[in-house]
Structure 1
Amino acid sequence: MLTFIGLGLGPEGISLQGLRELQEADVVYAELYTSLLPGFDISQLERRIGRQVKRADRKMVEENPEEILTAAREKRVSFLVPGDPMVATTHVDLRLRAARSGIKTRIIHGVSIASAAAGLLGLQSYKFGPSATIPFPDNPSTRPYEILAENFNHGWHTMLFLDLREEREAMTANEAIGIMFGLEERLKGSVFTAESLTAVVARAGADDVLVRADRAEKLQREDFGPPPHLLVVPGRLHFLEADALEIFAGAPKEVVQWHMSRR
């Protein structure tokens, strides 16, 4: 049995059901390269559940998961992941490999940044279109801009995740905005300009969570503290969403009104 367990968004984000499963597991793995978990400490979790947690790197999970699958064929294995288990494609792939090997799988869900960010900003979750990740400049891609342009045409909100290297180097919102400005300059679709209403969510789930919304040019100059950061570009706004961005994220009324008149 292979059980995928979501860690949520921080050190206390795991559910009681997840903790109980860890305490009853024979083997526990933790994958921590797909997202940052501020304040999370494996040693503290080990003391809490009374067993060792093996750290699974990208190579073990994506290229050679046989150690995990072999253990799951005969033992009760728990596999910890940041956020909610099946948001990342790599976890779906591992579950498929297990299923094809005749290994039963189970999911214990955790809070996902996808739902948390929408809630923090007061945006309606069903109005989000496809999301994308903004990669570091040494691995350039036009995909984030193309996704934003597609969502923009439909009036949908866009969630843009920021790249994270396995060695724990995390992109900041300021860097991400600069990269999107560069894509706008190249592709000239007028979907991410200096005037664009943009939101930053920093450290969702932590005590020092921060949410800000303003013109992209203004946000690029602000300090949001340590990562993880996330960008959200609103689409067509309901009047309650407009109020929420002003009250919860400090968006200037004139910026929100300009955005709504444009949409």
Structure 2
Amino acid sequence: MLHIIGLGLADEKDISVKGLEIVKKAERVYLEAYTAVLLVDQSVLEAYYGRPIIIADREMVESSSDDILADADTKDIAFLVVGDPFSATTHTDLALRCRQHDPPIKTRTLPNASILTAVGATGLSLYAFGQTVSMVFFTDNWKPDSFYDRVKDNLKLGLHTLVLLDIKVKEPNLQALARGRIVYEPPRFMTAAQCAEQMVETEETRQEGVCGKDKLAVGVARLGSDGEKIVAGTLEELSSVDLGTPLHSLVLCGTNMHEMEWEYVREFAVDQNKFDEIWKRDYAGKS
């Protein structure tokens, strides 16, 4: 059986008791390491779990899944996922491969906390979120704005938008690749400040009033850990805020932000007076 086990958001202790029991008995233990990362190193997990861990990068999961699934029809294999197992479509694809395997491989999923639910720590109601979008690193000649239309759809309904930020792990250097050598770039993790800056930059091009510099937003970092940080303000303010080490996310507030949400979120504001002024002008009573 393939056990797809959520690890939660922070460290080695966030795994469930059921999950830990499976890990300790499994034939092999894999850690998916490219859609998200924990706040601790592989060695910390291995020491706590008492098991060696095989890092499963994008290439292994997407192109060499047979190695992961080897003997899984007769033995227990643990596949560890940061957050919740099905927050990324990659893991749905892996489960489908188990169904299509000959003979079919049974799967079991153990859920855990993910950013999709942990973002409730901001005080924004999870019931008031619309489509989740992703933000990638802009380059000089590539600035995709497909996220903009989905945020626009959310705002038409007054809904908040959770923005998941780009992670670059084990990315090949293109210049080296052109010379026939595989050299990996250092890991990069987008910050909430970079995301806010790119949203404002996109607004300057699109000019449809979706993510201008005065829109209220909330930046979060390391949710679920002892060092979690939450900061609220305008996109312009957040573009200058340092939330520290990864991982970061950002929420663009919807215009239907309830008074109770405002009262909770304002405590995280860079400038409470400015936050209150904009909320009363553009958000209060819009529902």
TM-score for the superposition, normalised by structure 1: 0.94
2:184 matched residue in structure 1: none
Deviation at 1:50, TM superposition (A): 2.4
Q: Mean Cα displacement is larger for which, 217-226 or 75-84?
A: 217-226
- Asked if 2 retains the 8 angstrom alpha-carbon contact of 1:122 and 1:248, the reply is no
Aligned match for 2:196, one of 164, 173, 177: 177
State the one-letter code of the partner of 2:260: L
Task: Name the aligned partner's letter for residue 108 of structure 2.
Answer: R
The code of the aligned residue for 2:43 comes to S
Cα shift at 1:140: 3.2
1:187 aligns with 2:189: no
What's the CA shift for 1:90? 0.5
The 2-side partners of 1:26 and 1:178 are apart by 46
Higher RCO, 1 vs 2 (CA within 8 Å, ≥6 residues apart) = 1
Larger radius of gyration: 2
Q: Tell whether the 8 Å contact from 1:171 to 1:229 is kept in structure 2 after alignment.
A: yes
- 1:112-151 matched pairs, under 5 angstroms: 112-117=114-119, 119-138=120-139, 140-151=143-154
Q: Secondary structure at the match of 1:224?
A: coil
- Rounded to whole Å, the distance in 2 between the matches of 1:115 and 1:76 is 29
- The C-alpha deviation readout for 1:189-222, integer Å capped at 9, x for no partner, is 1111110001101111121111111111111112
Q: What SS does the aligned partner of 1:74 have?
A: coil
Q: Does 1:260 align with 2:279?
A: no
Contact 2:259/2:284 (8 A) holds in 1? no
User: Following the alignment from structure 1 to structure 2, what is the Cα–Cα distance between the partners of residues 4 and 262?
Assistant: 44
- Superposed CA offset, 1:27-72 (max 9, x none): 100012111322x222222223322111101011112211012231
User: SS state of the match for residue 71, structure 1?
Assistant: coil
Distance of 2:21 and 2:246 partners within structure 1: 30
CA offsets per residue over residues 124-147 of structure 1, 9 Å max, x none?
112111111101113532121111
Distance 1:69 1:172 in 2: 35
Q: 2:62: which partner in 1?
A: 62
Tell me how many residue pairs correspond in the alignment: 261
Q: Secondary structure at the match of 1:189?
A: coil
Partner of 1:220: 239
| Residues 1:203 and 2:222 aligned together | yes
Taking structure 2 as the reference length, the TM-score comes to 0.87
Q: 1:261 Cα deviation (Å)?
A: 4.3
| Unmatched tracts of structure 2, length 5 or more | 171-186
Distance in 1 between residues matched to 2:36 and 2:217, nearest whole Å:
22
8 A contact 2:200–2:236 mirrored in 1: no
Which SS does the other structure have where 1:72 is aligned?
coil
The whole-number CA distance in structure 1 between the counterparts of 2:48 and 2:284 is 53
Deviations 1:53-103 (A, max 9, x none): 111010111122110122312310000011000000101111111111111
Residue of structure 2 in register with 1:246 after alignment:
266
- What is the CA–CA distance in structure 2 between the aligned matches of 1:226 and 1:135, rounded to whole Å? 18
Question: Match of 2:183?
Answer: none
Deviates further, 107-116 or 41-50: 41-50
Aligned to 1:41: 41
